Amino acid sequence: MGDVTEILAQANEQILQADTREKLLGLLSTYERVLEIDPSNYEALWSLGRYNVVMVLGYTESQSEKTHHNLTAMKYCEQAMKTNPEFQALTAGGGSERVGDACRVLSNREIAPLYYWFGATGSYWKECLPFLKRMSNMALAQGLKKVMIRMLEIDPTWAGGHPYYAWGFYHLNLPRILGGSLKTAEEFMDKAVEAGPKWLYARWGRAKYLYTRKKDKKAFLEDMEWVIAQDPRPQDIIVVDDGSTD
């Protein structure tokens, strides 16, 4: 079946070349090969969460595809978080505690799957559920808020300010009557840019989601032109300590 270390090394090479839908699907298949050998492999689990989210962001059009990849990402991220024994104990037996409550026991080790669970769940809530189902499923939105608070407690500057960005994205998409705020969204997205000045995602997201809402064409162009001018490859791999070494 192959050696896990060699397959993960292959995945890291694929990451640097995964600039099409087909290549990204190939990367997902490589991580799935790891799980065929080692079903609890932490790196493969959270990476499947991450790159299913990337599929939603860049390579899906239909709602059915978005639903599939978001739910798949959520599943793998939860499995990655369950490699933490305390989290596993809290969520055992069908989830006696939801992720938003159980995430209080997670540490910096699990911040990657926690972040991508947030990304997939937020996308699923916003893009895959009809308005009435969103309004009747506020427990999911409340869980997202708890996850964001926990990420800020663990390390708000992780991976170039991803937790800051998550908080900004949350306020950007939450209805005003439920606490959403463009001003708060901008404050946190600006913090993400400050925390990761060389990362592409924060400026890209700020332009695509915030400045389009504000109808600020000048700021939109400044961010997008900066993104286009960068080489994306050096920042493609997020290194996560799996706890296997000191």
pLDDT at res. 153: 96
Lowest-confidence segment of 51-55, 57-61, 212-216, 218-222 by average pLDDT: 57-61
Give the C-alpha distances (Å, rounded to integers) separating 236 from 114, 146, 219, 239: 18, 27, 25, 10
Q: Cα 136 to chain center, whole Å?
A: 24
pLDDT at res. 235: 53
pLDDT digits (tens, 9 = 90+) for 154-212: 999 999 999 999 999 889 887 787 788 999 999 999 999 999 999 999 999 999 999 99
Structure tokens that stand for 119 in this block: 């990304």
Please report which confidence band the pLDDT of residue 246 belongs to, taking 50, 70 and 90 as the band edges: very low
Please report which confidence band the pLDDT of residue 242 belongs to, taking 50, 70 and 90 as the band edges: very low
CA distance 231 to 245: 31
Percent of the chain whose pLDDT exceeds 70: 91
Task: Look over the chain and give the mean of its residue pLDDT values, rounded to a whole number.
Answer: 89
Neighbours of 9 (CB within 10 A): 11
pLDDT at res. 238: 55
- For residues 56-76, give the mean pLDDT: 94
Q: Looking up tokens 């608070």, which residue turns up?
A: 149
Structure tokens that stand for 141 in this block: 């939105």
pLDDT at res. 243: 43
Q: Distance between terminal CA atoms of the chain?
A: 29
Residue 240 has pLDDT above 70, yes or no: no
Please report which confidence band the pLDDT of residue 241 belongs to, taking 50, 70 and 90 as the band edges: very low
